[in-house]
């Protein structure tokens, strides 16, 4: 039960990160600087909690940590942040929720099967129907207003969902190796920042004046300390105890929650199809996770 509650808490926080990132982009920060500042804050927080370096028992495990940093930190969030410059937060959140589909496909390819295939499939179908409704109602980017821009943003979001599925599988393998969650997350963040370093050559000047603005500073602290440092630990704990497929099904809640937060904060439309998508998504999540 604890792992399920932590997975739900993580998704509740992560559902609002699309909105927070959109606010920062509107304030003039680039996707890359948002990513670097966010995970630098998260890494420093984890260093305070776990100052000692994690000892890796096997060189193969070291490669897993590097792969997790590349996929779950650098690639996923860079794709997500850039997507938010092209399309709405609701659209990005909706497409991100397709990650469990790819996670399940990877697990199936490895020979794993759900304990109740028919019930899991029905719940999965209901959740996908909810995602489709929310996605259809998300509309185009209100700032750019271009169908082409919306298409690019959705494509980047789709790539991010595939990358997150790969990350979930990798974290599952790290958890199977028995590493402590907090220290393991810190090591993953360290690798992620290392892979980000070369991209700083294209990042342009640091947005130092903007950092003094309360809205910018508040959203960056929320993303760095809450959504990154705290929630990566709770998510990885859930993956360790529930497995990557079961944990990833909580992502089905993201579209409805992001749509609601986007409507309140950004003024994006919250229509009847989005509300219908919320109902179908929760029903599918409940059914697919039923013991």
Say yes or no to pLDDT of 69 above 70. Answer: yes
- At residue 280, the 3 state secondary structure works out as helix
Out of 74-78, 144-148, 232-236, least confident range: 144-148
Query: Which two tokens mark 161?
Result: 């969902």
In this prediction, residue 230 carries a pLDDT of 87
Highest mean pLDDT among 12-16, 130-134, 136-140, 252-256: 12-16
**Two structure tokens written together for 264:** 């309140």
Q: How far is CA 280 from CA 31, 41, 174, 235, in A?
A: 32, 36, 33, 24
Q: What is the pLDDT of residues 109-160, one digit of tens each?
A: 777 665 567 777 787 788 778 777 765 665 544 444 566 777 788 789 889 9
Residue 226 has pLDDT above 60, yes or no: yes
The residue with tokens 């003024």 is 267
**In this structure, what are the phi and psi dihedrals at residue 145, rounded to the nearest 5 degrees?**
65, 30
More confident residue, 17 or 146: 17
Nearest-angstrom CA–CA distance, 291 and 289: 6
Q: 136 or 254: which carries more pLDDT confidence?
A: 254
Which tokens in the block code for residue 50? 């776990």
Note the pLDDT tens digit of each residue in 153-208: 878 988 998 898 899 889 888 888 888 888 888 999 999 999 998 887 776 777 77
| Number of residues that make up the chain | 291
Q: Kindly tell me if the per-residue pLDDT of 244 is higher than 80.
A: no
pLDDT at 144: 45
The whole-number pLDDT of residue 290 equals 62
In angstroms, the Cα distances linking 215 to 24, 68, 210, 278 are 8, 31, 9, 29
Task: Find the mean pLDDT for residues 241-253.
Answer: 77
Average pLDDT, the chain: 82
Query: Averaging pLDDT over each range in 10-24, 48-62, 240-254, which range is the top one?
Result: 10-24
Burial 40-66 (b: 16+ CB within 10 A, else e): bbbbebbeeebeeebebeeeebeebbb
């Amino acid at each position: 039960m604890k792992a399920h509650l932590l997975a739900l808490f993580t998704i509740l926080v992560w559902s609002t990160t699309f909105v927070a990132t959109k606010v920062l982009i509107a304030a003039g920060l680039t996707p890359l600087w948002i990513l670097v500042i966010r995970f630098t804050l998260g890494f420093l927080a984890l260093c305070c909690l776990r100052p000692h370096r994690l000892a890796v028992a096997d060189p193969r495990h070291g490669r897993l940590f590097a792969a997790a940093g590349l996929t779950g930190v650098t690639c996923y969030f860079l794709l997500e942040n850039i997507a938010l410059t092209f399309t709405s937060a609701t659209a990005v959140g909706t497409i991100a929720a397709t990650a469990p589909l790819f996670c399940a496909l990877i697990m199936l390819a490895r020979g794993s099967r759900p304990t109740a295939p028919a019930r899991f499939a029905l719940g999965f179908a209901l959740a996908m129907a909810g995602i489709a409704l929310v996605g259809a109602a998300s509309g185009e980017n209100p700032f750019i207003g271009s169908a082409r821009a919306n298409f690019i943003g959705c494509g980047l979001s789709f790539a991010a969902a595939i990358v997150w599925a790969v990350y979930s599988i990798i974290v599952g393998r790290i958890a199977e190796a028995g590493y402590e969650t907090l220290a393991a997350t810190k090591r993953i963040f360290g690798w992620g920042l290392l892979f980000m370093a070369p991209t700083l050559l294209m990042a342009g000047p640091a947005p130092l004046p903007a950092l003094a603005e309360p809205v910018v500073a508040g959203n960056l602290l929320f993303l760095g300390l809450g959504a990154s440092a705290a929630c990566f630990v709770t998510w990885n704990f859930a993956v360790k105890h529930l497995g990557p497929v079961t944990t990833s099904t909580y992502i089905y809640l993201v579209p409805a929650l992001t749509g609601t937060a986007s409507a309140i904060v950004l003024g994006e439309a919250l229509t009847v199809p989005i509300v219908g998508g919320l109902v179908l998504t929760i029903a599918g999540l409940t059914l697919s996770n039923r013991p």
